[in-house]
Structure 1
Amino acid sequence: MATSFFQARAPAKKKSGKEKENVVNPSLQPWVEKYRPETIDDVSSQEHIVSVLRKTLSSSNLPHMLFYGPPGTGKTSTILALARQLFGPDNFRSRVLELNASDERGISIVREKVKNFARQTPRAEAVASDGKKYPCPPYKIIILDEADSMTQDAQAALRRIMENYARITRFCLVCNYVTRIIEPLASRCSKFRFKPLDSSSARQRLEHIALAEKVPVNEDVISALVSTSSGDLRRAVTYLQSAARLSAATEPPSAILPQDIQEIAGVVPDAIIRKLAQTLGVDVTLIGGRDGDVEMGDAASLTVEPDLRGFDLIRETVRSLIREGYSASQVLSQWLKAHSQLHDVIVEHPTLTGRQKSACALVMAEADKALCDGADEELWILEVALRVHKAVTS
């Protein structure tokens, strides 16, 4: 099985006349589209799902399906690749209807567009123009992307359509949150859970794309892409393309640095988080990092008077953080979610006690709730910083 999540598409055949105008220049394509999988064997990190769908290809007996899991894990790409392998390029348009339910989510869409397509009997198929043989089973596929955005009425109306036209139409519901799909609809589908990509698969795919696009990147840049994307390969590929465009825009082209990836991703640089942790009394020398130096790079932007101590030092550090343009919600979301941010620095610290870690996690949760209710950002960053300092030093 191929280990890549995205696979470069085959070169397009030469076309003439109006068809030639519709050909997209590969250099202008988003890389997430350019490197989508063409077959289900090109999907990685979803071995169980691929093995089940491979058997479906041999038997051509496809049930209604429900794909769910985090964004960027290959749900839509997998069903599109499966449909191409079932119907071939000539019949794909007539046999597959793809709708994004986040845009078209009302009951009128289900009763009109979905029902009209579902009730049509598939036509007899001609021989494929590319000379390959495709199973082309006697049914169509309707793909409802972002199905968890559909209204309750629309989902209820969909139940009867799935039953009435199951002989000639199969449905694939794609969503991030399976709990938002009503139970009567979910029970009619075979469920497939897509898990976040592991770091090794994501790293391998990013290296492959960088090599194919002739973008020079080192291990630190790849690590920054993997950590900031949190298992979302689509996001990581987009970050890589953005960084490549910014690098090529300078004269001469500049090298891509981990700080560039963090800036594109909108995260607080690791050096600043480590500097903040040091100010709060956390021993950062015991934490794994590139070199343990918290004064290097972006950390120098936190300008604080050298003779300040205690409360004054923490207050001025927080003010400097706000002056740099980092919002409280941005900082807190990284503390709670992202790798190597302050939350993980504290929770994974080898010498802090369980009580100290619990006190720090509690104040971060309180701050997150307060910010959602519209509290002042700088005051809550200061509140978190002071209580973390108290918990760490007590």
Structure 2
Amino acid sequence: MRTSTILRPAAVLAIISVLSACGKPPGGPPPAAGTPVLGVMTVRTQPVLLQTELPGRTSPYQIADVRPQVGGIVQVRNFREGSDVKAGQVLYQINPATYKAAYDNSVAALTKAEASVKTARLKAGRYKELVAIKAVSQQDYDDAVAALGEAEADVSSARANMETSRINLDYAQVDAPISGRIGKSTVTPGALVTASQATALTTIQQLDPIYVDVTQSSTTWLNLKEALANGELQKSGNGAKVKLILENGRTYAQEGTLQFSDVTVNQDTGAITLRAVFPNTKTDLLPGMYVRAVLQEGVRQQGLLVPQQAVSRDGAGKPVAFVVNADGVVEQRSLVTDRAIGDQWLVSSGLKEGEQLVVEGQQLASAGAKVKVVQWTPKAAASGTTTAVTGARAGTH
């Protein structure tokens, strides 16, 4: 019994010496319990300009297919493909020989008809005096008056024929119907063309200004009308301004204006077409280009914008966020977000002005937990060394 009592202290000393030789346990002492420190921001309402980005295509302001209105051989082409032309400029010259001959013949026919009228008028005048003294019969006088009427009708017919032949002669010169950029020519000098043929000789497109046609779902359009009607949105100005993002991601330098929205919904896509017009002085926009149009919907006067990093998703995929109440207790809120604006969410419901929204340290937050808060600022968040993060880590050790 006595020997056993002596051995026990020795064993204890041996264990202590072994531990001393090995040093401290791995990882050091357990962290001390503390209150988490979270970075929060005070939710404030502000006027928010709402914009919608929609896909679209450019289309010419005016477009005209040039076709001949008379037939014949093309003698000359008077333009350079891809150049700008003016309305009325001669583009093609069709051989006018037959049309010039027809015009000259109609002029001669008119001259002959006008000479016949003079003779018929003189005869009718003489017969009028003679019938008064019974020198000629009434029938002869009536025949003279009728002959005068026929001669005058012949003059009108000849004049109409002359005008027709003059128009055909003019059509031998194919003029530009509008001003704009002319495309490639489908014919060369020596080609035979016919009146109103199916194939156009060339096409002219007016590019300044230029149209941008975009599509918007009818549901979004209805929601926008309702928001304007019930006062949630206010119009941002007299005319709806439109910005343009090009295929390469560059923003087009000049703003456009929304001209009209179609009155028919596409039955296949459920969308309506909106048309905007843009100045295009440098012809940076060409017909058929894919673009994205940014339309100004209106202004939400009591908009709530919160950083996207403050919003997470629950198990059902719905947006949620943490707020800290006046007692320093964390509450979880289910949110309804309208859209993303830059790096922020526009919140429709779930938050109120003046509440403390957790932006940094959500991983330390849980509903019902008591926490400490520090004010979060975007500048501090961008540096990656926010006071909220540092404080939260310090409080857990």
- If each structure's helix is expressed as a fraction of its own residues, which one has the higher value? 1
**Fold in common (TM above 0.5):** no
- If each structure's strand is expressed as a fraction of its own residues, which one has the higher value? 2
TM bin (shorter chain)? under 0.3
| Larger Rg over CA atoms | 2
TM-score (norm 1): 0.19
TM-score (norm 2): 0.19
Per chain length, whose mean CA-contact separation is higher, i.e. which structure has more relative contact order (CA < 8 Å, sep 6+)? Answer: 2
